[in-house]
């Protein structure tokens, strides 16, 4: 089996960068964590799709690592179909997996 992208309508939109379509953890400088599919980085911020947000200040919020473990196991509990994270909020990025 080829390691090249395969199948019908096979692969990513390479013009949008390496992370396009990949589920990432975006650390917010506010302390929030944004978990969703990276769409693209623009001058107005990072566009993400199907995003779950962890806010440690929210009542009853789980510890961040517990929340992430839940998302890894059961899938992303998205509350936002599309989200723009402004440049002054967007911090480190890591893949969920």
Q: How far is the CB of 94 from other proteins (least distance, A)?
A: 12
Question: What is the binding site for other proteins (CB under 8 A)?
Answer: 1-3, 5-13, 20-23, 37, 72, 74-78, 95-97
Report the nearest approach of other proteins to the CB of residue 66 (Å).
15
Name the residue nearer to other proteins (CB basis): 62 or 95: 95
Of 2 and 43, which has the nearer Cβ to other proteins?
A: 2
Whether residue 25 contacts residue 96, with contact meaning beta carbons closer than 8 Å, is answered with yes
CB of 48 to other proteins, least distance (A): 13
Give me the phi and psi of 66, to 5 degrees please. Answer: -65, -40
Comparing CB distances to other proteins, the nearer of 27 and 76 is 76
């Amino acid at each position: 089996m080829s390691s090249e992208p395969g199948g019908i309508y096979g692969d990513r939109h390479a013009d949008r960068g390496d992370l396009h379509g990949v589920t990432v953890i975006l650390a917010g400088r506010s302390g929030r964590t944004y978990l969703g599919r990276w769409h693209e980085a623009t001058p107005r911020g990072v566009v993400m799709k199907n995003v779950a947000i962890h806010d440690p200040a929210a009542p009853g919020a789980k510890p961040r690592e517990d929340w992430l473990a839940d998302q890894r196991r059961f899938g992303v509990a998205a509350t936002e179909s599309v989200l723009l994270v402004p440049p002054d909020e967007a911090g480190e990025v890591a893949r969920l997996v």
